[in-house]
Amino acid sequence: MMTDQTIDPPVAKARSPLSEAWEMFRHNHSAMVGLGLLVLIVLAAIFGPLLYPTDPFDMVWAPFSPPGEEGFLLGTDYLGRDLLSQILYGARVTLIIGLSAAIVTVVIGVTVGALAGFYGGIVEEALMRFTEFFQVLPTLLFSMVIVALFGASLPMITFAIGIVSWTAVARITRSEFQRVRELEYVMASRASGASNSKLMFEVILPNALPPIIVQSALMVGSAILFEAGLSFLGLTDPNVVSWGQIIGSNRQYILESSFTVTIPGLAIFITVLAISLVGDGLNDALNPKLRKR
C-alpha cells in the first residue's frame, strides 16, 4: 500500500515506562542503598530464625547481660531472654504488620479515592466527607480504642492501623483520578467502547499508580512506627514478639541497661529509613515531572 512519506526505520527495542523507571531508580544511589538494606532485613526476617533457632521467649541467661558477653551477640533483656533472637523473630511480625496494614490502607484508600475521583458530583462529596471524618479522628486514640475493644490480636492490630491511615491514600488517588480522567486517552477508550469499570481499573488506575505506589511504600514505614507505638503502650499480642513490644517491655530499665531499648529502636529506625529511601527513589523514578530536577 502507498504511503505518504518514508518513516524512520523501525526502532529495535520497545521500552515500557516501567523499564525506564527502573533505569532511573538504578542510578539513584540512596534509593539503591535503601533497597539493599531492605533486602537484607527481609532476608533476616525470613531466614534468621532458621539459622538462629533460639526461642525468643526462653530465659537463657541472667537478665541485662550486655551485648557480646557469654556468646549473646546482642545481650539479654530484663527476663534474661536472648535479644538477637527477639530481634530476628520480631522482624517477621513487624514486617508482616507493616506490609499488611499498608495493604489494608491501599485497598480502602484506592477504592474510596477511585470512586470519588471517577464519578465526581454527589458520590465524591459523600465519599470525601466520609474520608474527612476519619481524617479528624485522633489516630492513635482511635486505634487504641479498636484494639482495646476487640482484642490485641495481630489481624486486629493490622486492621486498626489500616483504618486510621487510609485517608492519605484516598486523597492522593482521588486527585490523580481527577487529573487522568480529563486526558484524551480516557475519552478515546470510552469511544472505543470501554465500560466504566474498565476505564477505572484498566485505563485510569495504571496511569494514576505512581504516586499511590510511593505513598504505599511510605505507608509500610509509618505502619511499622504505628505498631511500635501501640506495642510500647502495651496494646499488643503477648504471644508474639515485635520490635515495639521489646522496647515497651524493657522501658522501665532504660536508665540501667539502655541497650535493651536502643537495639530494637535502631532496628525500627534502620527499617523505616530504608523504606523511606526506597519510597523517595520510587517517587523520583515514577514521577516524570520531578525527573529533571
Partner 1 sequence: MSDLLDVQNLSVRFGVRRKGGFFAKPTYLTAVDDISFTVRKGETLAIVGESGSGKTTAALAIARLVSGLTSGKILLEGRDLLPLDREDLKDMRQKVQVIFQDPYSSLNPRKRAEDIVREPLDSLTDKSISEKREIVDGLFKAVGLHPEQKRLFPHQFSGGQRQRIGIARALSTQPEVIICDEPVSALDVAVQAQILNLLRRLQTEFGLTYVFISHDLGVVQHMCDSVAVMYMGKIVEHADRLSLFNNPLHPYTAALLSAVPSVDPMLREQSRRILIPGDPPDPLDLPKGCRFASRCPVAEARCRDVAPRLKLAGSNHRAACHLVEDETSPLAGIRS
The residues that touch partner 1, with contacts defined as CB under 8 A, are 1-5, 7-11, 14-17, 125, 183-185, 187-194, 198, 203, 206-207
Considering the complex, what minimum distance in angstroms separates the CB of residue 1 from partner 1?
A: 5
The residue among 128 and 163 lying less far from partner 1, judged by its C-beta, is 128
Q: In terms of CB distance, is 16 or 239 closer to partner 1?
A: 16
- Choose between 71 and 193: whose C-beta lies nearer to partner 1: 193
Q: How far apart are CB 166 and partner 1 at their closest, in Å? A: 24
Q: How far is the CB of 9 from partner 1 (least distance, A)?
A: 8
Q: How far is the CB of 22 from partner 1 (least distance, A)?
A: 14
Between 15 and 293, name the residue whose CB sits nearer to partner 1.
Answer: 15
Grid cell locating 281? 527513589
Question: Grid coordinates in use for 191?
Answer: 469511544
Phi/psi for 72 (5° steps) reads: -100, 105
Could you tell me the smallest distance in angstroms from the CB atom of residue 13 to partner 1? 9
Task: For partner 1, give the closer residue by CB, 3 or 239.
Answer: 3
Burial environment of residue 52 by CB neighbours within 10 A (0 to 12, 13 to 18, 19 or more): middle
